[in-house]
Amino acid sequence: MRERPALAGFDGRKVVVGIRPESIEDAAIASDAPADRRFRTTVELREALGSEVLVHFDVAAPPVLTEDTKELARDAGGHERLGTAAERTTSTFVARLDPRTGAQKREPIELAVDTGRLYFFDPTNGLSITGDGAPSVTNTEGEHP
């Protein structure tokens, strides 16, 4: 909370947490990551791209449905699945891992998170909860209101 004093105003309330794929690494490679910044999951999909490996995994958190995600689903013809997405209790995340990772599809993996690179949003209006308490001009859809 010291780095993000504005989060104190959300104590006991739900927030949306975001993280970019490059802020997650295979804990076997990021071996200096403290235990409280690691978690275990299962690799659902592995994409070897040469200089990096993308792994898709599920987290026990419901998906966040924004106007952007709804529009993307409509454009992709998946709008009928939004109802089931709203009922889901897990969300799929992507990590960009070092190509030396031993990650394999359907296998457990321990991942390390750079918690200094987490992003927090107010679910009622989509605005970013900044570290200094200043109002943000970016919402969960990357737009400037």
Residue pLDDT, tens place only, 50-77: 999 999 999 998 888 777 777 777 777 6
Cα–Cα distances in angstroms (integers) from residue 70 to residues 20, 73, 75, 137, 139, in the given order: 20, 5, 9, 22, 16
Q: Where are the domains of the chain?
A: 35-111
pLDDT digits (tens, 9 = 90+) for 77-111: 655 555 555 577 888 899 999 999 999 999 999 99
pLDDT of 24 reads 98
Alpha helix locations (H) across 6-104?
A: 67-75, 82-87
Alpha helix locations (H) across 9-100?
A: 67-75, 82-87
Q: Measure the CA–CA gap between 1 and 5, rounded to whole angstroms.
A: 5
Q: What is the pTM of this model?
A: 0.77
